[in-house]
């Protein structure tokens, strides 16, 4: 990962942002299904960013 491309970097930023939003939603007491959906979206985004960085 010496020379990471912009797509992977943007994916990682998006993943961290979604994870932060999910944590804030849980902290504020939002519905559990909404928090799970945000968490799952963050995980899929992180997986995609990881694959983009490797390929």
pLDDT at 8: 81
pLDDT at 5: 77
Nearest-angstrom CA–CA distance, 8 and 2: 12
pLDDT per position as a tens digit, 1-55: 556 678 788 888 888 998 899 999 999 998 999 999 999 999 998 898 888 888 8
Reported pTM: 0.77
pLDDT at 54: 83
pLDDT at 2: 58
């Amino acid at each position: 990962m010496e020379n990471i491309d912009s797509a992977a970097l943007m994916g990682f930023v998006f993943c961290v942002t979604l994870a932060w939003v999910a944590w804030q939603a849980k902290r504020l007491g939002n519905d559990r299904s909404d928090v799970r959906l945000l968490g799952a979206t963050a995980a899929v985004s992180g997986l995609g960013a990881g694959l983009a960085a490797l390929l």
